[in-house]
Amino acid sequence: MLLNNNKNVIKQKFIYTFKYNHHYADLCKLETRQIFGKEEQNNLLFTDVEFDPTISPFIRERFEILSSSPDYSQLLHQIEYNNIKLEGFKVEYLILEGDDTGYKERLNKLRDIGFRIEGIPNYKSPSRIYSICIYEDVWYFGIMKKHDIGWHKHKQKPHSFSYSIGMVTAKALASIAAKGDKSNILLDACCGVGTIMLEACFSGFKIDGCDINWKAGRHTRENLKHFNYSADVFKSDIKNLDINYDAIIIDLPYNIYTTSNDTISQNIIDSASKLSNRIIIVSVSDIKQQIENSGLKVKDFCIVGKRGKSNFERKVWVCEK
C-alpha cells in the first residue's frame, strides 16, 4: 500500500465485491483465503490476483483498477490522458461501503467519464463496462466484470436428491478445489446426482465424476446432458480408479440413504489420497483423525450451517499432502 498526500491510495490491480447469505459467511471466507490468500472484509477485497468472478458463488463484481486518485478532477485528467477509444462501451457507477454520493451526482460523474471516452456507447449489450467508485476517499476508474448468474438454471436439473449438497456450497467447493485455475483437472469422487460437477462445468473446469451407485451415475450423466456439459462419469468404487487429478472433491456419504461409517469414510479418503495431493472433503462428523491417517494435512477448515431443507451442518476440510 502506498501513501499519497497523506491519503491511503491502494496500489492493487483489482477490487472484488461480495454478496452472500450469512449462512455462507465462513465458506466465503475460506474461499477467499484459498483464492486470494486473505479474507474479504465488509464484502470487499483489494488484490493483485486476477480471478473470474463467475467462478465464485459469492463474488458480484471484479473491478480492474485503471486509475485512482483522492482528487476527482485528477482522476478525470488521468482518464483523458489514457485517450480511450472504444465503440459500444458503457459506464456504470459502483457503490461501495461508505459511499454517500447522491443519485444526481453519480449521474453527473457517469457523464463526465462518458465524455472522456471516444466512441458510441451501447447501454444494452456493451462491449466493455467502465466503472467508477469511491472507497475511503479515493476515486477509482476501471473495467467492471460482473458475475454471470446463469448457473441458477441448475435449480431445474432433471434429477435431484433431498440430501444432495446445495448449489452454492457445490459451486464454492469447485472454486476452492481448483483455486480458480481452469487448467486444473478435478474429480468429484462421490458424485451422487452430480451437483458439484454441474457447477464445475459451468465455471469452465474439467471434472470427472465417480460413484459406486449405478443409479447415481446415470442421474449424473442425465443431469450433465440436460445442460449440454460433457464430462466422464465412472460407475465405480473410488478405490478402483487409477487417474491422477489436480484436486479431488469428496462429499462423503452421510449414512442417510447411503450407508456410511468410519471405515467406509477412511477407505474413500485413503483411495482419493492416492490420486491427488489436494483433497476437499465435506463431512457431517469430525474426520480430522481419518484425514491424518491418510497422510493428509488439514490446511483450512470451515463449517457450513444448517439451511433450507438441510437439518445438519457440513464440515469442509481443505487437505493437502
List of residues contacting ligand SAM (CB under 6 A)? 161, 164-165, 190-193, 195-196, 210-213, 216, 237-238, 251, 253-254, 258, 268
Closest to ligand SAM by CB, 90 or 314: 314
SS3 state of residue 92: strand
Residue 32 buriedness (CB in 10 A; 0-12 / 13-18 / 19+):
buried
Give the separation between CA 82 and CA 89, rounded to whole angstroms: 15
Q: What is the DSSP string of 102-153?
A: -HHHHHHHHHHHHHTSBS---SSS-SEEEEEEEETTEEEEEEEEEPPGGGGG
For residue 36, which phi and psi values (nearest 5 degrees)? Answer: -110, -10
Shortest-Cβ-distance residue relative to ligand SAM = 192
Half-sphere exposure of 74 (CA within 13 A, CB side): 10
Closest to ligand SAM by CB, 117 or 212: 212
Closest to ligand SAM by CB, 72 or 161: 161
Closest to ligand SAM by CB, 62 or 219: 219
Q: How far is the CB of 211 from ligand SAM (least distance, A)?
A: 5
For the record, the C-alpha cell of 308 comes out as: 433450507
Closest to ligand SAM by CB, 65 or 174: 174
Question: Shortest CA distance to 18 belongs to which of 60, 54, 52?
Answer: 60
Q: How far is the CB of 312 from ligand SAM (least distance, A)?
A: 11
Q: Which amino acid is at 186?
A: L
Q: How far is the CB of 258 from ligand SAM (least distance, A)?
A: 4
Q: How far is the CB of 285 from ligand SAM (least distance, A)?
A: 13
Q: How far is the CB of 108 from ligand SAM (least distance, A)?
A: 49
Beta strands 247-251; 185-188: pairing state = parallel
Closest to ligand SAM by CB, 28 or 280: 280
Q: How far is the CB of 165 from ligand SAM (least distance, A)?
A: 4
Q: How far is the CB of 231 from ligand SAM (least distance, A)?
A: 14
For residue 236, which phi and psi values (nearest 5 degrees)? Answer: -160, 155
Closest to ligand SAM by CB, 165 or 178: 165
For the record, the C-alpha cell of 68 comes out as: 485512482
Give the separation between CA 219 and CA 227, rounded to whole angstroms: 13
Beta strands 2-4; 7-9: pairing state = antiparallel
Which residues is 269 bridged to in the sheet?
A: none
Closest to ligand SAM by CB, 56 or 195: 195
DSSP code at position 112: H
Q: Which amino acid is at 103?
A: Y
Q: How far is the CB of 232 from ligand SAM (least distance, A)?
A: 14
